[in-house]
Chains A and B, each alone.
Chain A
Amino acid sequence: MMQIECPYCGKRDETEFSYGGEAHLVRPGPDVDDRTWTEYLFFRDNTKGVHAERWRHSRGCGQWFNALRDTATHRFLAVYRLTDERPPLPTDLQR
């Protein structure tokens, strides 16, 4: 059972959270063509490795935040605010 560090409440069991899919999606304006809109609706990177994603502490403070998680090992590398830029990887992991 993963332990996730909510930026506001600290480390909690994953059962307190809801998953929110890929992070940093940019909502297109209302005038884009069909292709751009449907790609926004349905296309996602299916990353094996470090994945930027959203989480909500739904059974706690109710706040959303972003996280970097390795989808192969489930190791969390960073948590950051929903509106922040994706941070660089911790130095010990940079290859």
Chain B
Amino acid sequence: MPGPFRLREGGHIDRTRSLRFTFDGRPLGGFEGDTIASALLANGISVVGRGMKFHRPRGVLSAGVEEPNALITVGSGARREPSVRATVEPLVDGLIAASQNRWPSVNFDFGRVNDLFHRLLPAGFYNKTFMWPNWHLFEPAIRRMAGLGVAPSEPDPDHYEWRNAHCDVLVIGGGAAGLLAAFMAGRSGARVLLLESDRALGGGLNWERGSLGHITPDFRVRHASQDLSALPQMRVLMNTTAVGAYDHEVVTAVQRSLPSDRARWRQRWWRIRAKRIVLATGAFEQPLVFPFNDRPGIMLAGAIRHYLNRYAVSAGQRVALATNNDSAYQVAFDLKAAGVPIPCLLDSRPRPSAELVRAASSAGIEVHSDARITATRGGSRIESLRFSAGGMPQREIACDALGMSGGWNPVAHLYCQAGGRLRFDANAACLVPDEKLESFCAVGAAAGVFTLNTAMAQVTSAMGALLKTMNLSGSTSIPEWADYPHLDPPGTVGQVGYTDEARRDRSWVDFQHDVTVSDVDLAVRENLVSVEHVKRYTTVGMSIEQGKTSNLNALAVLAHRTNRMIPDVGTTSFRPPFVPVTLGAIAGGRNGRFYRPVRLLPAHLQHAALGASFEDYGGWQRPACYLKREDEAQSAAVQRELRALRTGVGVFDASPLGKILVRGPDAAEFLDHMYVNAMRTLTPGKVRYGLMLNERGVIIDDGVCARLSAEDFWVNTTGAGADRICAWFDEWLQGEWPHLQVVTTDVTSALATITITGPKARNVLGALPSDMDVSREAFPHMQARVGSLCGVPCRILRVSFTGELSYEISVPAEFGSSLWERICAVGQPFGIEPFGVESLLLARTEKGYLHVGADTDGNTVPADVGFGEAVAKKTGDFVGRRSLTLAEHLRPDRLQLVGLRCVGGTEAFNAGAHLLDRKLTRVPQDTAGYLTSACSSPTLEQHVGLGLLRNGRARLGETVYLVDGGKQSSAVVVSPTHYDPSGARLNV
């Protein structure tokens, strides 16, 4: 059943296919081919939303992506989508739509009370209010009121895809100009990609009425489409909106699936690299600014024509028109032809084209020149307007719709995003791309050319020049479908913006954010005259429409108020995306499990079988601990594992440990430059612990370094540091010392590493078949051996991170899982226990071993952690050495690594607790450092930790006070080596 505003015939809708939908629960009907907005208008729905601040009723303003008012929530549950623009969303059967930003309903909204106080709520009022007694008192209420629409809370169930494309010429927009541009490029042999945001090609041709010349718009679009399909390297993407232009001719676009494809993919995110980009994006009509220009039923004149011709919907039953340019006259002629009464056409120009006025008059349309609207009336729909023309007394005209045209402004966003600039065309009162950006060209209305015949000539010349820069040339003949009859150039556009002094507080420039002319005035009064300041202070152009129908008017008002010309005011920066993009499209398939590649240990399956509780450590899935029974708590498991490795033997998968081979005649010299410690003097077979610094002298990594032979070194780094240190080595070798003959190879993931640790570690290692002598005398602590173990090549380092006898065994990764199994098998009689990262960290904390990045921060130098002597003994330069003698690093009160032992109490303390010299009596109080690692030590049956304390090493035995989240405790300063200070257990 067609709605009251649906014309009996015409339009590109399929009247044989009725669709049903609901709006705020109300059942309504439409046709296939409708958008939600056209269907709402057809049903006579005038109020579709509420303004952000004053909650005044809002109606559909436009017929495109620039829509500020008709933002509705579509769907329900996990697929609910807020702030959908009803003007571009196709109507589908069964659609559930709801208005936003209103309570209890869009027709009766309590928020309207704000409108009564509008004088107290100008731009920026919230910067001057809500302060006493405390902002946080108001915050919850304001957060509830702010925003448009509610996002779904369930995860998005739909699928999104990424696509990449390359082309020679990217044409954005498939209207009259874009079709010709794409055709010319394709005809010359270029690979062309044409993007069209709508579901049909043709752009403005889709809302032309009747023929243009001897052929219809429909004929033109059909034949253009056929000609394009015939070109071999032409690709056309429909329902695809270009949203961002980036460096080096990259453009991103969002493609929306047809309903039939939606189950497989909902949206595609395209990344396109082109050689040249053609903007055929058209122009946005601008609203007129006058008092009470925000009422439902007041629309863009071109949108009225769009709804009339494309959807067979009349915006009203008495449609008035107001304009500052020629284009509204065609709207009047089309309405007249469709039988819609037009009470008046108000032209703000003192002398509009005599020909147009004559044509309008003979069509029975009353035209007034030098006419300005002074007010409008109406509640949920406009009822009348008042205007004055040429000094005559004001008159009131009844109408139920008003089409306003403030001129057309090119859609140049992508041009500006790519760094291009705009120039002001005074004749057309619009901002046009300046043609200086090399790889871009704008055509048609996007270039400020608004008549079809002239536009086609402009396309021909622009494309000819563009193709020439690519050494392509082709015919410049215009196909029949692009041959338009001659039209006179349009008349000069009248004044933009608002210069009257009356009712500036009720004349809107931004309908969505409720920004009026008086708000711009206020910004100027407060000396915020830069366009960037005015934007942010008033929030004009900062809502979902991002200035598409608000920026130009705001600029004009600002220019007038500050006695400047529009070009001198300038524009604010254009940033992607051009229209809102759902995060799902940008994420593509990279969510959940696919957010980041997961690195698994070689013996992952074995760990899982043993009940490992996996966690992410630096991108690796590692056992935090192993749960022997399902109900074993993690803390209990960690304590059990620690006890086992201290008294018996434990086995640990250390495969993420960084392993870098450094080889060559100059390897020793090189490593001597990279480490604080002397590596040059290391003899083959020996291992030395070392610190690496950056040039500021700050510790960036630590680990052992083994010398395997004269020219072969085996460098271990922290697990997280492997990639970083490898890159670091490359930087110095390639950049500073390219003459050194050194080759570095990162073998971290090529080798599996398994650590056997504990008093019985040697028993287990000895039980494995090998060609190496692993007896106590033959293989002392801090040494390395190379040989074969269980028949596979291996390197063993006798080094310890637990404080017990320890062997780190590295074999090719493919043998990692079988070696783990062998070790577990031969370890059975010795009670071998697998242990995870948490008990390892607990063990090293008891032992006071450094954990770079936890026990050191961005300022920690070697002397701070007890390596001052190593620096002093080192001869020769190393990276960061010179920084260690800067005054800052010689201060006596620097944070130094100490151990801390809890005094009394049973409460554990946490890393991050502040260390204080005196008990905390009142804030503020100076801190003396902080706790960096902490644990409940089962070995020592105490809470112990490590910390950085001012002048800490001189304060052994002192008591310091800890503050941690409001809780206070105290601790004694001790040496970091809580457990086995003499190191006897390492030498068993």
Contacts and interface: CB of A to CB of B under 8 A. Distances in A.
B731 A73 contact: no
Interface stretch (B286-294, B708-716, B878-886): B878-886
Interface stretch (B331-339, B373-381, B733-741, B840-848): B733-741
B735 A32 contact: no
5 contacts: A1-B271, A14-B247, A27-B736, A64-B731, A82-B734
A28 B158 CA distance: 58
Contact of A56 (B250, B730, B738, B887): B730
B247 A37 contact: no
A74 interface: yes
B882 A3 contact: no
B250 A64 contact: no
B735 A64 contact: yes
A47 interface: no
A73 B887 CA distance: 41
Contacts of B735: 54, 64, 82-83
Interface residues on A, range: 20 to 34
Given A30-B882, A32-B882, A74-B248, A41 B731 contact: no
Interface string A56-74: 1010001110000000011
Contacts of A3: 248, 273
Interface centre among A14, A28, A62, A63 (most CB of B within 10 A): A62
A46 interface: no
A84 B529 CA distance: 49
Interface in B712-770: 727, 730-731, 734-736, 738
B793 interface: no
Contacts of B250: 1
Given A27-B736, A73-B419, 17 more contacts: A1-B247, A1-B271, A1-B273, A2-B247, A2-B248, A3-B273, A32-B882, A37-B886, A41-B696, A41-B883, A58-B727, A64-B730, A64-B731, A64-B734, A64-B735, A74-B248, A83-B735
A30 B874 CA distance: 14
A38 interface: yes
B695 interface: yes
Contact of A74 (B247, B273, B727): B247
B273 A34 contact: no
A34 B887 contact: yes
B731 A20 contact: yes
Given A1-B247, A64-B734, A82-B734, A30 B727 contact: no
Contacts of B887: 34
A63 B734 contact: yes
A1 B273 CA distance: 9
Contacts of A64: 730-731, 734-735
Interface string A1-40: 1110000000000100010100000011010101001101
B731 A56 contact: yes
Contacts of B247: 1-2, 14, 74
A27 B250 CA distance: 38
B678 to A, nearest CB: 16
Nearest to A63: B734
B524 to A, nearest CB: 31
Interface size class of B (residues with CB under 8 A): 20 to 34
A27 B736 CA distance: 8
B907 interface: no
Nearest to B249: A3
Nearest to B880: A41
A60 B594 CA distance: 22
Contacts of B821: none
Contact of B877 (A30, A34, A37, A54): A30
Contacts of B271: 1
A28 B887 CA distance: 18
Nearest to B419: A73
Contacts of A38: 886
Contacts of A37: 882-883, 886
B689 interface: no
A4 to B, nearest CB: 9
B886 A34 contact: yes
B695 A83 contact: no
Interface in A69-95: 73-74, 82-83
Contacts of A62: 727, 730
The 3 closest A-B pairs by CB, nearest first: A2-B247, A64-B734, A1-B250
Interface string B862-894: 000000000000000100011100110000000
Interface string B362-396: 00000000000000000000000000000000000
Contacts of B248: 1-3, 74
A2 B271 CA distance: 13
B484 interface: no
Contacts of B877: 30
Contacts of B537: none
Contacts of B734: 63-64, 82
B162 interface: no
Interface in B225-259: 246-248, 250
A72 to B, nearest CB: 8
A4 B374 CA distance: 58
A67 B882 CA distance: 29
B695 A41 contact: yes
A1 B576 CA distance: 13
B487 to A, nearest CB: 39
A75 B886 CA distance: 39
A64 B421 CA distance: 35
Nearest to B726: A62
Nearest to A54: B735
A73 B440 CA distance: 14
